[in-house]
Structure 1
């Protein structure tokens, strides 16, 4: 998994490439939570994400909880069919802000 970030008009974009799974979810979560500490809007770009496991879902949930508790916004964009299917099956499609 590769993680980069860049500024945009709203805040910052967290660009993720590869798999968010048992081996990489902790690194993803740490990057996400650090950005949510500093920025009011964090956009997570899933364009190059191949797979999200339950560990990855937990990281997303923790990010969403942090955003909610601090009055910030976490937006997920460019969700592919594979990831969207996982989000739908688990009910995360209703928890996360997806554009």
Structure 2
């Protein structure tokens, strides 16, 4: 479903749900988006931690659970595949799994 920010409160004619200002409205119907012009803003683009600069990515990864780190590792390897990011995520996973990281960066 595509997400849109609500600009003006409205009641959905299909569900009768009230959508207050600043809430998120979800639909995949282009015709419904056209009907709601003036009530909803442009499509909200989902961003990922991995869309940021390397320094920002590295700082954002600390403290995440291993499941999320594994997900980000797969996304990075299949996407931009930045060596520093891949190595940092791998090091964090080793620490979380009780393994010692050999490069000396994280122990």
TM-score bucket (shorter structure): 0.3 to 0.5
TM-score by length of 2: 0.31
TM-score by length of 1: 0.32
Larger RCO (CA within 8 A; separation ≥ 6): 1
Higher Rg of the two aligned structures? 2
